[in-house]
Amino acid sequence: MIQLQNVNKIYKSGDVETAALKDIDLTIQDGAFVVILGPSGSGKSTLLNVISGLDTVTSGKITFKDTVLTDLSPEQMTTFRRDHLGFIFQQYNLLQNLTVYENVQIGSDLTKDPLSIDELLEQVGLAAARDKYPYQLSGGEQQRVSVARSLAKNPDIVFCDEPTGSLDEESSKKVLELLERLSETYEKTIVVITHNNGISEMADDVIKMNSGRITEVTHHDTRVAARDIHWG
Amino acid sequence: MLFKNVWKTLGKKWMQLLAIAVIIVMSSLTYTMMFYGISGIEVPTEEYLEGANQEDFAVEMLNRVTEEEMRDPDVAALAGSGIFTLADIKPADESVFDRLIASRIEAVEEEMPDATIELRDLKAITYTLGDAEHRGLLVKESDTINRSYLEAGARPSTDEEVALNKTYAEENGIEIGDTIDLGQPFTVSGFVLFPDYTLPLFDDNLFNLDPGSQTLMLMTDESFESTIGQESFRLAGTSDSTIQTDLDLPFVVSVMETENIIRSGAVYSEISSGKAMALGLSLFIVSIAVIIVGILISNMLEAERGQIGLLKAIGYSRRQIAAPYLVLILIFAFFMLIAGYFLGLYFANPLKELYLEFYLLPSITIAQSPLVFLTAVFAPLLFFALVAGAVIYKLMGESALSLLSPRDNVSLNRLSRLVSRLLKRANGKTKFKYLYAVKSTGSFLIFFFGILFSTILIVFALMMNGAVDRMTVGGLNDAEYEYEAYTDGAPPIEEGQEPFLTYPFAFIDDQLITLKGLSDDNTLFRLQNESGDELVPETDGLIISSSLALKLGIEVGQDVDIELDEDTLTYPIIGIADDFSGDFAYLPRATLSELLSDGTTDELFNGVYALERPNESDYTTILSRQGLIEQSQSINQYMNLMMNVLIGGASLIAFSILFVLTALTVEKNYYVISLLKVMGYQKREVRSMILNSYFVYALGSALVSIPIALLTLRMVVVVFAEDYGIVLPLEFEWFYIVFTLGAVVLIFFLSTFISRRKIDHIPLQEVLKTYQE
């Protein structure tokens, strides 16, 4: 479980201060599929950055189970990310001179107890493309490799920053289906940041943000299957 | 505005630009320094050698009379009384000597009718100046060929005057009008040069040319004749026709054209090879600089492709956008080349002075030449303009839309595929590590050739370390004697003296050699092989010096034929003495004595090794072992300086290349580094993944380069020994590998220090920005 208590984040640029996060209190349950929704500049990416330790908070406390993340040194935070977090970005961030298999291997090398790469590739439907290079894949396929890479080290939580931002509807739905299936198969907590309202239909919890504040938290008792969400 | 933008972009890359600046400056510096340094001696040298009528060829001849010459009753009579060398005949009966020389000149002129031949009469003396032993070579003034050249003062006009080399005088604080003691006092009347001695090379030893302890001297003919010393003769010739170097005359040892004679012609090859090296070296360095600048521009433009696309979209032309990049890069290169030119000009003078420390040549002030300026500055600038222009125009050629979109993924180069196959079983981290450095074939080749170039220079410098010492003093350091003295008589052997016998007129494969007979109980001068094992001369085998073995390409166990007068004797080689100071073959003294006396005596000797200085009335030439060692110091210091410059220059080039390439790698992989950190890789691991492959490749390249360097240098040694008779005793020690690799490791860590820090400071959030590899 991740807990945020009174988290604030202020960016300073010269004499100008911008409050990107204001008094954020939030709990993310283990195994939940969470969507953080909001327009550009709402603070959703900053929220992901501070939860995942990519950025520091100005004030407040973030805890993961018994670990107070805001007290960790940069090196300890790196170890924490290594052991517990996975990331999927809008840009697929694949390493161009490694094959599909090797790209996933880069993720699995981080842990002593990784998931099977072959099994993951099977799950994302790219078993046959394991020796291909990124330039030989479509955008959707590349994002699926990125999904497999993030899961390879067997993290507790996977953060997805606009994972379908660069894909068409069909490819996007395939990736979301994949996330949905993997979340169920491997029981991972999935946190998706998006401005696409439709994606929120498949979430357990939807956190809406605007101007650095959480404006609404909605819990869904039943989730809509990724294939059936309203795209838009 | 566009200029300002590019200016700022370049400003952010000042570290890389600084490293590139070093390479660019070095390219024009190398060319200018070497070219002006060489032309500073070339121009006056040409005038001097022409004016003084330098010989076109020299005939080295036997110092003893031949069988044919013995048919002359007067010669036979002298030989009968034990006087059979030219040096002994001249004082004994000058008319016989003149007749012998005239007949020899006539014989050569018959073979080369167009040639003008003249006797060159020389006398080697030793004397004490201060506390040190110095060597002088008296040169008798000639009529037409190799006339003396007066640099200052006047030629000797009285029998108490002497003229010396200016460099020698300067190094010893001697001025015109001073008196020096050459056995008797002589007043220095002036400074002279002799065109057949552009190097003060008085014997076979290439590196015994310390201008501070040996000088050429000019005296009046009377003083020349009356001064006691070891006299030698050769024939000097000039000819407009082809020179016959294969004269088959019994008294001829060799006929060599001036260009091939080190003492007189080395300066020609020094000038031509120096010019070629100036051009080749600077071309190599400038090529590296141009390619690195090309890579830098390419990276810079790739990083700004969106911005360039926008400019194109709003109506800027390709030329307008390209101009600031091209102009600023060219301005940068121009100023660096200008800086290199003037630094080169500044260092040309010390280089010229360095040449003149060894070459006995007149000097002039270096004058700048427009052609050198154009070659040093504008030729590379054109090179830069072409490459930078091509890189810039290629990217600018893309459409605005294409530039505004992220770059399509590019396919892999062959090198990456090869490495990928080799690492098939390695883990992802290892594959990532080793594939990154080979991602760009161009960068990797620059990297490899940079390391190769530096390694060859470092290995060469290391192998040269001690080479001069081996050539100059070699066995002298291990010898037990203090003096080596030569006699024409048979003085009694005193305590602390051990006799030896030399015969400098034998041949092996047409190579003139000195046969040396050592006593069985010899303790003062022992022979050793390369491994340090003692070698003892034997009656039925021959020990030869290393330099002779190199020149003839012979090894232990092979048989050689020695031509001794009319006889040919066959001996197996039983050992190779670690001696590079001359072409010697060793036998027991008794054996050599019997050979030379037709079996009548085994007691002949013509020299001794001694612990105390022998009596000067008994010995015509006395060489001090310590004096010889000290004479070699100067050339040793010079060579050490050159080797250090070589290692320093090589290291600087390797440093600059590694620095620029690793800095560019970090810059290019900004997002990848950020991604790895986000994924959970620690800074140390990221540094290792991005840079350590360069470390392994650098070591690998150095390891590959070492055998290449050894093979190259081995070929140079053999070619020099067999074709030019010059022995370069380069020696390889296994620890040189460790030293070379150590140097590469040090250069690597120093040059990547900034890149390592840069990796640590790349923020995690970078990966969230638009990512492009």
- The confidence score (pLDDT) of residue B773 equals 41
- The confidence score (pLDDT) of residue A49 equals 87
User: What share of chain B in percent tops pLDDT 90?
Assistant: 21
Least confident among B173-177, B194-198, B378-382, B502-506: B502-506
Cβ burial of B67 (10 Å; 0-12, 13-18, 19+) is: exposed
- The confidence score (pLDDT) of residue B772 equals 42
Distance from CA of A90 to the nearest CA of B (A): 8
| CA-based nearest residue in chain A for residue B675 | A93
Nearest to A54 among B432, B764, B772 (CB): B764
| CA-based nearest residue in chain B for residue A91 | B771
In the numeric block, which tokens belong to residue A200?
């929120």
Looking at the predicted structure, is the pLDDT value of residue A228 above 70? yes
A-to-B residue pairs, Cβ atoms closer than 8 angstroms: 95
* Cross-chain residue pair B680–A97, CB shorter than 8 Å: no
Over the stretch B273-300, which tens digit does the pLDDT of each residue have? Answer: 777 777 777 787 788 778 777 877 777 7
Over the stretch B462-501, which tens digit does the pLDDT of each residue have? Answer: 887 767 666 666 667 778 899 988 887 788 898 899 999 9
Sign of the CA dihedral with B337 first, then B341, B346, and B350 last: positive
Q: CA B553 to CA B293: how far, in whole Å?
A: 47
CB-CB neighbours of B538 under 10 Å: 17
- The confidence score (pLDDT) of residue B338 equals 94
Over the stretch B82-103, which tens digit does the pLDDT of each residue have? Answer: 888 888 899 899 999 999 999 9
Calculate the alpha carbon distances from B562 to A142, B251, B555, B566 in Å.
Answer: 80, 17, 15, 10
pLDDT band at residue B164 using 50, 70 and 90 as cut-offs:
very high
Backbone angles phi, psi at B332, to 5 degrees: -60, -50
Mutation for testing the A interface, residue in B679, B686, B687, B759 having most A CBs under 10 Å: B679
Mean predicted confidence (pLDDT) in A9-19: 86
User: Angle of helix B683-719 relative to helix B753-761, nearest 10 degrees?
Assistant: 160
Mean predicted confidence (pLDDT) in B314-331: 84
Helix, strand or coil for residue A205? strand
Q: Which residue has the higher pLDDT, B146 or B133?
A: B146
A156–B contact, CB cutoff 8 A: no
A103–B contact, CB cutoff 8 A: yes
The β-bridge relationship of strands B567-577 and B132-139 is unpaired
CB-CB neighbours of B558 under 10 Å: 12
- B221: nearest Cα among B136, B137, B142: B142
Q: Are B499 and B635 in contact (CB under 8 A)?
A: no
Q: Which residue has the higher pLDDT, B175 or B375?
A: B175
Over the stretch A86-116, which tens digit does the pLDDT of each residue have? Answer: 988 888 778 888 889 989 998 888 888 888 9
B761: chain A residues, CB-CB within 8 Å: none
Looking at the predicted structure, is the pLDDT value of residue B620 above 80? no
- The confidence score (pLDDT) of residue A207 equals 93
- The confidence score (pLDDT) of residue B155 equals 94
B154–A contact, CB cutoff 8 A: no
B316–A contact, CB cutoff 8 A: no
Q: What is the pTM of this model?
A: 0.66
Q: CA B153 to CA B159: how far, in whole Å?
A: 16
* Cross-chain residue pair A134–B772, CB shorter than 8 Å: no
- The confidence score (pLDDT) of residue B639 equals 72
Over the stretch A55-94, which tens digit does the pLDDT of each residue have? Answer: 889 999 999 988 999 999 988 988 898 889 998 888 877 8
DSSP state of B401: H
Q: Are B701 and B448 in contact (CB under 8 A)?
A: yes
Q: CA B103 to CA B110: how far, in whole Å?
A: 10
- The confidence score (pLDDT) of residue B530 equals 82
Q: Are B262 and B206 in contact (CB under 8 A)?
A: yes
Which of A140-154, A162-176, B703-717 has the highest average model confidence (pLDDT)?
Answer: A140-154
A97–B contact, CB cutoff 8 A: yes
HEC-encoded secondary structure of B543-564: EEEHHHHHHHCCCCCCEEEEEE
Helix, strand or coil for residue B253? strand
Calculate the alpha carbon distances from B12 to B73, B486, B756 in Å.
Answer: 92, 73, 17
Mutation for testing the B interface, residue in A9, A91, A121 having most B CBs under 10 Å: A91
B671–A contact, CB cutoff 8 A: yes
Calculate the alpha carbon distances from B460 to B134, B633, B644, B683 in Å.
Answer: 32, 20, 11, 38
DSSP state of A224: P
Distance from CA of B396 to the nearest CA of A (A): 23
Mean predicted confidence (pLDDT) in A132-160: 89
Over the stretch B218-272, which tens digit does the pLDDT of each residue have? Answer: 999 999 999 888 888 999 999 988 888 778 888 887 788 888 777 887 777 777 7
Over the stretch B710-737, which tens digit does the pLDDT of each residue have? Answer: 888 888 777 777 665 667 777 788 888 8
- The confidence score (pLDDT) of residue B37 equals 85
Over the stretch B125-141, which tens digit does the pLDDT of each residue have? Answer: 888 888 788 889 999 99
Average pLDDT, chain B: 83
Mean predicted confidence (pLDDT) in A2-15: 89
Looking at the predicted structure, is the pLDDT value of residue B768 above 80? no
A78–B contact, CB cutoff 8 A: yes
* Cross-chain residue pair B431–A98, CB shorter than 8 Å: yes
* Cross-chain residue pair B681–A110, CB shorter than 8 Å: yes
Distance from CA of A152 to the nearest CA of B (A): 11
Hey, where are the domains in chain A? 2-228
CB-CB neighbours of A42 under 10 Å: 22
A99–B contact, CB cutoff 8 A: yes
- The top-level CATH class assigned to A2-228 is alpha beta
Over the stretch B621-679, which tens digit does the pLDDT of each residue have? Answer: 787 888 777 766 766 777 777 777 777 877 877 787 778 777 777 877 788 888 888 88
Q: CA B622 to CA B125: how far, in whole Å?
A: 9
DSSP string, B708-747: HHHHHHHHHHHHIIIII---------THHHHHHHHHHHHH
CA angle B749, B755, B759 (to 5 degrees): 125
Q: Which residue has the higher pLDDT, B592 or A166?
A: B592
Distance from CA of B767 to the nearest CA of A (A): 8
- The confidence score (pLDDT) of residue B702 equals 87
Please name the helix (run of DSSP H) or strand (run of DSSP E) that holds residue A110, with its range, or none. Answer: none
- The confidence score (pLDDT) of residue B601 equals 85
In the numeric block, which tokens belong to residue A154?
């067997």
Looking at the predicted structure, is the pLDDT value of residue B575 above 90? yes
Over the stretch B597-617, which tens digit does the pLDDT of each residue have? Answer: 878 888 888 899 999 988 877
Q: CA A215 to CA A211: how far, in whole Å?
A: 9
Nearest to A96 among B409, B427, B675 (CB): B409
B410: chain A residues, CB-CB within 8 Å: 96, 135
- The confidence score (pLDDT) of residue B771 equals 43
Q: CA B660 to CA B666: how far, in whole Å?
A: 10
B767: chain A residues, CB-CB within 8 Å: 87, 89, 93
